[in-house]
Chain A
């Protein structure tokens, strides 16, 4: 499989704090890559570097290189176009305080689509893609804030899909959800990887083993080990990985 994104020798500082150290990693196309590790290990920080959401953090400095299909995303790609191609789903569902329809249509409208027919079609496709169309099709004009947490998160996935991204970043997408909603999102992720490259930060090692193809283990801002999920969990090469996955710390 081809490399979708390549991270080369990336270092990231928050002020004086060295949050990511010499990270090099390839993200393979149409796979789910899981980032695991204890809190504060840098996994979310790296995820946010892939669509440049770290640019918002004051005092954040990044060096190195990140490419998307061979294009340097920090030097040669407009940040808004990057974020259109690399979508993101947040830890806490964050639908806008507007109707379900307007939430999904927000992205396409942002990128210049005005035609009602076209928008209708995109909204339906995106909601179907997020496996929530049947639940919501009769209440598209209702406020998105009235949905349950799990529905809100799938709506946010639909909203991200509506701009037709190539990569989907998910930052602990199920940490705020109940077990049943969590399973739905996991099933959805597996479905989505047919068309999208997915990078998911997760706190939950079972989740990583259930759905991901590759797993990357972080500790103190460094990648300790990266590899196929089943191999990493069954025979970790590094002692620290073993300690973590067997629950000895973290």
Chain B
């Protein structure tokens, strides 16, 4: 049917001004007849402007006030109450993110594999897993913090430690990894699996050699998103990893991450300038991480 359409011949008509395009004055004339609609349109546009303005203002305000205070002192190897160095906290953040991801990523990917590749439709267990994963998503970080304190710090006697903090965060980011991996696995076409089975490969081989590699970008974008949450997290860490501003000797020593460091600086109120500078570092870090994640996510949707 559509194949009988023919390509347009360039015609003089093409150059004539089309009559169906509304100019601005046409629109305004039309709005004059319906002032209510005009008002609504204004409100819609203003709201969008307000949203963007809030973001731009926040970022600019912190950058402008913080960048002048980024100096060498801030990056000293050890922290003192004079230099307010971010280095120990930055190192703690990297360690914290590393351990949390090490714990959460395999578990998250494993559960997603089970949900997508093994579980049968209508399975009761799957429903329970989904409900619990959704519950985990909704739990505020302070509740994770409380739980971490009660379980890892107190019951398991790990004291305030990087490890207790990392375990707490691992539970917190588990649903993020689970969900993004699940989506990535679901988006792998069934023809890939059938092709592999057709060649006599087992289920396990198919998953590891065919399905997972195809889902890597999606999983990666989820992992990076989770990293962003770890870097920005405070409430779940104060009473699990504690607030010691030192590079830890072992996984069982306490250590503050960058976000916790930022909170303490701001709350003491003695080092506002350094707090600004730390905010700049934190902001740039998180924006960079998020940008990377959405960049990878966009790559997939194009492919």
Contact = CB atoms under 8 A, between A and B. Distances in A.
In the complex they form, whether A and B have CB atoms below 8 Å apart is answered with yes
Interface of A: 11, 13, 16-18, 38-40, 52, 54-55, 60-65, 74-75, 78-81, 220
B30 A79 contact: yes
B199 interface: no
A17 B11 CA distance: 11
Given A13-B8, A13-B14, A40-B2, A80 B34 contact: yes
Contact of A39 (B1, B6, B11, B20): B1
Contact of B2 (A11, A39, A60, A81): A39
Contacts of B7: 16-17
Contacts of B6: 220
A79 B180 CA distance: 46
A113 B298 CA distance: 48
Interface in B1-52: 1-2, 4-9, 11, 13-14, 16-22, 29-30, 33-34
Nearest to A74: B19
A40 B1 contact: yes
A74 B2 contact: no
10 contacts: A11-B11, A13-B18, A18-B9, A61-B20, A63-B16, A64-B19, A65-B19, A78-B30, A79-B22, A220-B5
Interface in B47-105: none
Contacts of A18: 8-9, 11
Given A38-B4, A40-B4, A61 B18 contact: yes
A39 B4 CA distance: 9
Contacts of A17: 5, 7-8
A60 B22 CA distance: 12
Contacts, number: 56
Given A18-B9, A63-B13, 5 more contacts: A16-B8, A17-B5, A63-B17, A63-B18, A64-B19
A55 B30 CA distance: 15
Contacts of B20: 52, 54-55, 60-62, 74
Contacts of A75: 19
B203 to A, nearest CB: 43
Q: Closest 9 interchain pairs by CB?
A: A61-B18, A18-B8, A39-B1, A74-B19, A62-B20, A11-B13, A63-B16, A16-B8, A40-B2
B22 A55 contact: yes
Contacts of B14: 13, 61
Nearest to A42: B5
A65 B19 CA distance: 8
Contact of B18 (A62, A78, A79, A81): A62
Nearest to B10: A16
B104 to A, nearest CB: 41
Contacts of B8: 13, 16-18
B37 to A, nearest CB: 9
B19 A80 contact: no
Given A17-B5, A18-B9, A80 B18 contact: no
Contact of B29 (A16, A62, A74, A78): A78
A29 to B, nearest CB: 24
Contacts of B19: 62-65, 74-75
Contacts of A61: 14, 18, 20-21
Contacts of A220: 4-6
